[in-house]
Structure 1
Amino acid sequence: MKFGFLTGCLQNMTLEEKMKYAHDVGFTALDVSCWPRQNTRDFSGSDIDVENLTDDDVNGIKELQKKYDIVFSSLAYYDNMLDPDDDIRKSYSDHLEAVIKAAGRLGTPLVGCFVGKDQTKSLSENFDEYEKVFTYFVQLAEDNNVKLMIENCPMPGWQEDGLPGTISYSPELWDEMFRRIPSKSIGLNFDPSHLDWLHIDYLQALRDYKDRIFHIDAKDMIVDEDKFKYYGIFGKKLNREHPEDLGFWTPVIPGLGDINWSQFYNVMREIGFDDCFSIEHEDRRFAANNEEVEKGLEYSFNHLNPIIHDFK
C-alpha cells in the first residue's frame, strides 16, 4: 500500500520540493493538488498547471517521480460541479476536463473531485444534473484510462446556513450516485472524518462500499458531543468563525482526534484494501506556515506508519 498526503497543505513550494520532502520523510505517494493557477479556495493548490501541460512537462514530472521514488495516487480538484451559475460551472467543468486528461498523460490512475449541488434546485433535480454531467466525465475518464473518485465531504461552507453543499456525503446518497451511474470507473475517496461528525458508522461504511473505495483520506476529527447536543444536527447558525464552523466538530491531523486508526486499519485489511492511504492535512493549529504544516504531517506519519507498515 502506498502512503502519502494531499499536497495543497504546503504553500509556496515547487512540486519537486514537495516530492523531495515526501521522499525524505518516508512517504511513497502524493495526492497532487491541481486547482486552477488563479483560485482563492482554502486548502487548495496548483502543483501542476494542467491547462497548459506540455509533453516536456509530462516527461519532466515523470523523471522527478523516478528520482524521488514517488507515485501520484491522484490528481485532486474539488469544486462545485453543479454550480447554479452557468459561467462558473463551465469554468469548473473545463478545468476538470483538463485534470482528467493530464492524469491520463501522467499515468495517474485517479482524479478526485466533488459532485456539488445547485442550491436553487430540488435534490431529485440535482441528481438529474449529476447523471448528465458525470456520465460525460466518467466517459472522458475511461477514454483517458482514469477513474473518478468522489470525496464524501458535505461542504457546509458552501452555504451561508451551513447546510450541505454537495449531494454525495452519505451512504444513502452514494447508493443513488451509483444507481444513476453504475460504471465501475466512478467510486469514492473515502474520508472517515466526515462520516464521524455526521454520526455515520464509518467502519460499516468501509465494509459496505469496499468495491467502490478507490482511495482513503487519512483525516481525523474531534466531535464535542456536549456541543452537538446544544447546537443540534444542523450545527451552529450564529457567530460562526469561518464557513465550516458548525460548533461541534473540528478537523485535526490523524492521531489527535477520535478515530482509532488501528481499528480502522484492521477493517482496511478485512476488506482487502491495498490502494493509497493519504493524509489530508486541514488542522488549523498546524497551518501558520510550512514549518508548522510539516510538523503536522510528520506527527501523523509517525502515528500511522507503524500501524500500516506491514500492510502489503
Structure 2
Amino acid sequence: MKLGFLTACLPGEPLDGIAGWAAGQSFAALEVSADHHLAEVGPLRLPVSAIGYYQNLLHHDVAERDRIHDMLRRCVDAAAELGCPLVGTFIGRDITRTVAENLRLAEDVLPPLVAYAKDRGVVFVVENCPMEGWHPDGYPANLAYSPELWRWMAGLGFFLNFDPSHLVWLGIDPVVALREHLDLVKHVQAKDVEIDPGARNRFGVFGQLVDKPSPWVSGWWRYRVPGLGEVDWRRLIDVLYEGGYDGVVSIEHEDPVWSGTPERVRQGLVLAQRTLAPLMV
C-alpha cells in the first residue's frame, strides 16, 4: 500500500508545488481534484492514484447533469492520458425522485459513462459519502452512502473509493463493512470523524434543523484527520492487508481544526501521515 492525499485541501496552490512538497514529505501518490487542478495535470514528481470529480451524476436539472457528465468524460480522458486507471466520483441522486426511481434513473443514464471509461482503460470509484448537504432537509443525496447498494452499484460498473468516516456517524462499523466488500474496493480515502454524543442526543442522527449555519453542519459530528477521531485505523489497515489490497490510501483532509491556511492544512496532512504511515509496510 502507498500513502497519498487528495489535492482539494489545497485549492489555491499549484499542483506542481503540491507534488513537490508531498514528495519531500515522503507521500507516494496524489489523488488530483478535477475541480481545482485538472488543468494542471501533466508530468509530476508523484504518481496520480486517481482523478477526483465528486459531483452529482443524477442531478435533477438535466442540463446540469449533462454538463457534469461531459466534465466526467474529460476526467476519464485525462486519466487515460496519464495512464491512471481510476476516476473518483459520486453516484448522486435526483432529490425530486424516490430512491426506487433513482435506481431506475441510474440504470438508464449511467451505463454510457461506464462504457466510455472502459473503452479508455479507466474504472470509476465512488466515495460512500451521503452528501446530505445536497438535500434541502439533510437526507442522503448520494446513493452510494449505503452498503446495501454497493453491489447494485458495482453491477453498473462503479466500484468503491472506500471512506470509513461516513460509516461511523451512520452507525455502521467500517471494519465489518470493509471486510464484507473488499472485492469492490479499488481506492481508499482516509478521513476520520469526531462524535459528540451529547449533541446527538439533542439533534438526533439527522442533525441540527433550526438556525443551521451550513447544509454541511450536523451539530453533533465533524470530520477530522486520521488519528483524531473514532476510526480504528490499525484494524482497518489490517483488513486491507489481509484482503490483499495493494493500492493507495489517500488522505481526504476536511478537518476544520487543521484548516484556514495552506500551512495549517499541510500540518494536518503531516499529522494524518504520522498516524497512518507506521501501519503501512
* TM-score normalized by the length of structure 1: 0.87
The one-letter code matched in structure 1 to 2:10 is L
Q: Which residue in 2 is equivalent to 1:106?
A: 82
Q: Which residue in 2 is equivalent to 1:280?
A: 252
Q: Which residue in 2 is equivalent to 1:17?
A: 17
User: Superposed, which structure 2 residues align to 1:193-212 within 5 Å?
Assistant: 193-212=165-184
What percentage of aligned pairs have identical amino acids? Answer: 40
Q: Which residue in 2 is equivalent to 1:143?
A: 119
Aligned equivalents of 1:24, 1:225: Cα separation in 2:
39
The one of 40, 47, 50 equivalent to 2:37 is 47
- Across the two proteins, how many residue pairs are aligned to each other? 281
- RMSD value, Cα: 1.3
Deviations 1:197-226 (A, max 9, x none): 001111111111111001111100011222
8 Å CA contact 2:251–2:269 kept in 1: the answer is: yes
Aligned equivalents of 1:238, 1:175: Cα separation in 2:
36
Aligned equivalents of 2:154, 2:15: Cα separation in 1:
34
Q: Which residue in 1 is equivalent to 2:34?
A: 34
Aligned equivalents of 1:304, 1:178: Cα separation in 2:
28
Q: Does 1:130 align with 2:106?
A: yes
Runs of 4+ in 1 over 6 A off after TM superposition: none
The one of 9, 29, 47 equivalent to 1:71 is 47
User: Superposed, which structure 2 residues align to 1:171-210 within 5 Å?
Assistant: 171-179=147-155, 181=156, 183=157, 186-210=158-182
Q: Which residue in 1 is equivalent to 2:205?
A: 233
Aligned equivalents of 1:196, 1:129: Cα separation in 2:
29
Q: Which residue in 2 is equivalent to 1:271?
A: 243
The one of 65, 68, 77 equivalent to 1:89 is 65
Aligned equivalents of 2:105, 2:15: Cα separation in 1:
35
The one-letter code matched in structure 1 to 2:37 is D
Q: Which residue in 2 is equivalent to 1:39?
A: none
Structure 1 alignment gaps of length 5 or more: 36-45, 50-56
- In the TM superposition, residue 154 of structure 1 has moved relative to its aligned partner by 0.3
Aligned equivalents of 1:277, 1:128: Cα separation in 2:
32
Q: Which residue in 2 is equivalent to 1:262?
A: 234
The one-letter code matched in structure 1 to 2:86 is L
Partner SS, residue 168 of structure 1: helix
Q: Does 1:252 align with 2:224?
A: yes
Q: Which residue in 2 is equivalent to 1:40?
A: none
Q: Which residue in 2 is equivalent to 1:5?
A: 5
Structure 2 alignment gaps of length 5 or more: none
Partner SS, residue 78 of structure 1: coil
Aligned equivalents of 2:136, 2:101: Cα separation in 1:
21
Aligned equivalents of 2:101, 2:230: Cα separation in 1:
36
The one of 289, 294, 299 equivalent to 2:271 is 299
Deviations 1:136-195 (A, max 9, x none): 11111111101100100000111221111111101112133234x2x4xx2000000000
Partner SS, residue 32 of structure 1: strand
Q: Which residue in 1 is equivalent to 2:189?
A: 217
Aligned equivalents of 1:221, 1:152: Cα separation in 2:
14
Aligned equivalents of 2:171, 2:120: Cα separation in 1:
37
Moved more, 243-252 or 229-238: 229-238
